[in-house]
Amino acid sequence: MTITIHRGTKQIGGCVTEYEHDGWHLFVDYGEELPGGPKSGDLEVEGLTHGDLSKSALLITHYHGDHIGCITKLPKELKIYMGDVARNIQTALSNHLKSVNLLHEEMLERLKLMQTFKEGKAFPIGPFNIMPITADHSAFDAYAFKITADGHSAYHSGDFRMHGFRSSKFPEVIKKFIGKVDCVVCEATNISRPNATSKTESALQRDFKSLFMENKKAHKGTVVYLSSTNIDRLFALYHAALEAKIPFYVDGYQREIMDIIVNSDSIWTKSPLYQYGEYEPKVLIYDKYDKDKFYVSDSFPQFLSDKGYVLVARANKRFDNLLKQIPGEKVKVLSMWDGYVREGTETYNENLARSLGDDYVSHGWHTSGHVDMKDLCEFFNLLHPKAIIPIHTDAPDKFSEAFEKEWPVVLLNDGGFYTL
């Protein structure tokens, strides 16, 4: 089996990996390069972007744009696979965004053609056997794969962390479904950010509960801005509000995403974290006649102010208008990477900066979706690979420095390969 890293040896976004054996090509991920990082542009890869596709397939680890974002550029006859719940979430997201971005219409067409897999259920593609296991990440229903062919095996980590809500079972899952492997193709996002995981998701949930209670005591509402598909954070906020006995409000789109999780048959949704408690999230109703407004009765803004609230907002006029209508003070919280509101950078999001204003608190962006270096040591000890290829990283040399004494690290350039 030959492993080629077409992109991602020196950048975080847009990783594309190929596993090749006996004339068959199994690719993993085909997403966008990140703004602000290096760019290699559109790839030309035989068996993926052109040529004979009859012995090719593409696996998608998860729905983040840097992993799935470019699949609309690929020939329609290419077989693409992704997790079942992840596909439903991406479908809701694309439906929500299609009116502002036509690419999402194309994405919806692709999602309809897509095949799905489930955690712990191995499936074959040509000479490959693929075992998908769920990875704890800031995307829900994200996957790692054990890929086996001709007696050789590789573990493709995808994006993952070991400090989230679903991480405690990870070593057990590795032992049960993966065992030892010959090679690990490993994400190394946080290699140059050693403090990226200073807080676990559970600790963050407790902090949010305290913050909500403090705000309520001071007669202030709480408005949180976060990624609509950061499921773990979303449910943490919901349960924190529930425990603090403060009503939790979302819009129809956000409620749809939450319902997908609650109603899914993923093994993870058995956990109370992904279920509704005594009070379900309350839905703000869209105004039928004005797309920039919610339908609110005359007394509703005052009611919110009197009762207290936690409101999950998005940077758009509808939310901006509603917030203007609610009397009393409110605390705005940014619970995602603050690079989006740092002016003068390529990642700057003007709408978000405007909706947030100058007066906001940043909470939880440092609880990363990616594994830290200490946990990687534990992870490698579980898998005992003969080779580790770092990808999804802007600092491969630092990765090598950190691990080469103990493990055989293989540094490749984009387009470079390693044969098992």
Residues binding Zn ion (CB under 5 A): 64, 66, 159
Of 263, 308, 318, 316, nearest to 282 by C-alpha is 308
Of 386, 395, 46, 392, nearest to 183 by C-alpha is 386
Name the amino acid, one letter, at 287: D
Rounded to a whole number of angstroms, the CA Rg of the chain reads: 22
What's the rounded Cα separation, in Å, for the pair 176 and 173?
5
Handedness of CA 98, 104, 110, 114 (dihedral sign): negative
Helices marked H in 263-372 — which ranges? 300-307, 317-325, 350-356
* Shortest Å, Cβ 159 to Zn ion: 4
Question: Residue 264: how many CB atoms within 10 A of its CB?
Answer: 17
DSSP string, 143-188: EEEEEEETTEEEEE--S--SSSTT-TTHHHHIIIII---SEEEEE-
Closer of 160 and 403 to Zn ion (Cβ)? 160
DSSP H or E run through 123: strand 123-125
* Shortest Å, Cβ 378 to Zn ion: 21
Closer of 64 and 233 to Zn ion (Cβ)? 64
Closer of 66 and 251 to Zn ion (Cβ)? 66
Beta-strand (E) ranges in 178-291?
183-187, 221-225, 248-251, 282-284
Cα distances (Å, whole numbers) of residue 336 to 14, 103, 133, 362: 20, 24, 26, 8
* Shortest Å, Cβ 314 to Zn ion: 20
Closer of 160 and 248 to Zn ion (Cβ)? 160
* Shortest Å, Cβ 7 to Zn ion: 12
Closer of 66 and 136 to Zn ion (Cβ)? 66
What's the rounded Cα separation, in Å, for the pair 231 and 328?
29
Closer of 153 and 393 to Zn ion (Cβ)? 393
- Residue 417, SS3 per DSSP: strand
* Shortest Å, Cβ 103 to Zn ion: 19
* Shortest Å, Cβ 383 to Zn ion: 20
* Shortest Å, Cβ 64 to Zn ion: 4
Closer of 153 and 197 to Zn ion (Cβ)? 197
* Shortest Å, Cβ 142 to Zn ion: 7
Closer of 158 and 221 to Zn ion (Cβ)? 158
Closer of 132 and 221 to Zn ion (Cβ)? 132
Interacting residues of 238 by C-beta distance below 8 A, sequence separation 6+: 248, 258, 281
* Shortest Å, Cβ 17 to Zn ion: 12
